[in-house]
């Protein structure tokens, strides 16, 4: 196992990481987008993005796009490269505010978090559409790990922390259990060549209705390209 440093809250760090990875001339068969923060107080990344949206979503958006060429070169007809993005059930209540993606008008930790997770689902569906249209041997799926007992909950109210501590053994998944659906999406033979799915407990599940809005997917993709400073090549694809 070899580690390369990458701070998903920093566009500069992401670009440096991709340069380091490309320099190794390694194939890339699986990319799992799993970094995230939850319910953090209102604050910005070094690039000026609201932290939930900047780290949870834009960081993965840029990373995936910068690695797409390598993924496409690594995938074959019989062994597709795979992109697995971790969202959350909170996306079902999320609202995408295209005119205020940085939550400047009204900040809510819950609203910002759920928006970032909805954005990841919209991104995955649009990405799969583009990959299919280009005939690429790469698939993109999004997973819901469930409620997992990790440090992700360190910003919740203390009363909730106590409740989690008391009931974790009964209601919360262990990190190993929480990772199972991501692993399933990454390596299962059943998912070979299958993309554009929302997975929960290793099963294909329907995501929020709004996530299937293709026009919203396109608009988010275009705006995301502007925010991270990459060209929107998808504009040439229906």
Give residues with Cβ within 8 angstroms of 136, minimum separation 6.
71, 72, 75
- In sequence order, the β-bridge partners of residue 198 are 142, 205
Cβ contact 109:165 at 8 Å: no
Catalytic residue among 5, 92, 107, 113: 113
Give residues with Cβ within 8 angstroms of 3, minimum separation 6.
none
Is position 125 annotated as part of the catalytic site? no
Of the candidates 66, 70, 65, 69, the residue with the CA atom closest to the CA atom of residue 16:
66
Cβ contact 149:160 at 8 Å: no
Instruction: Give Dmax (Cα) for the chain.
Output: 53
Element at 81 (helix H, strand E): strand 81-86
For residue 174, what is the DSSP state? P
Of the candidates 96, 135, 134, 123, the residue with the CA atom closest to the CA atom of residue 196:
123
- In sequence order, the β-bridge partners of residue 18 are none
Catalytic residues: 113
């Amino acid at each position: 196992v070899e580690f390369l440093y990458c701070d998903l809250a920093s566009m500069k760090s992401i670009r440096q990481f991709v340069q380091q990875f490309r320099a190794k001339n390694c194939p890339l068969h699986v990319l799992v987008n799993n970094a995230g923060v939850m319910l953090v107080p209102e604050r910005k990344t070094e690039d000026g993005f609201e932290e939930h949206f900047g780290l949870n979503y834009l960081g993965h958006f840029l990373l995936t796009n910068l690695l797409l060429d390598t993924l496409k070169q690594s995938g074959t007809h019989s062994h597709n490269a795979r992109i697995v993005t971790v969202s959350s059930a909170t996306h079902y209540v999320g609202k995408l505010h295209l005119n205020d993606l940085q939550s400047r008008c009204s900040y809510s930790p819950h609203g910002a978090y759920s928006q970032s997770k909805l954005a990841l689902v919209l991104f995955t569906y649009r990405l799969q559409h583009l990959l299919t249209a280009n005939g690429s041997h790469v698939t993109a799926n999004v997973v819901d790990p469930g409620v997992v007992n990790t440090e992700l909950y360190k910003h919740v109210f203390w009363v909730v922390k106590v409740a989690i501590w008391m009931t974790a053994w009964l209601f919360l998944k262990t990190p190993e259990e929480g990772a199972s659906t991501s692993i399933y999406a990454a390596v299962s033979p059943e998912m070979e060549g299958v993309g554009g799915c929302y997975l929960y407990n290793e099963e294909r599940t329907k995501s929020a209705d709004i996530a299937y809005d293709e026009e919203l997917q396109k608009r988010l993709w275009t705006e995301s390209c502007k925010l991270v400073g990459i060209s929107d090549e998808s504009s040439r694809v229906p």
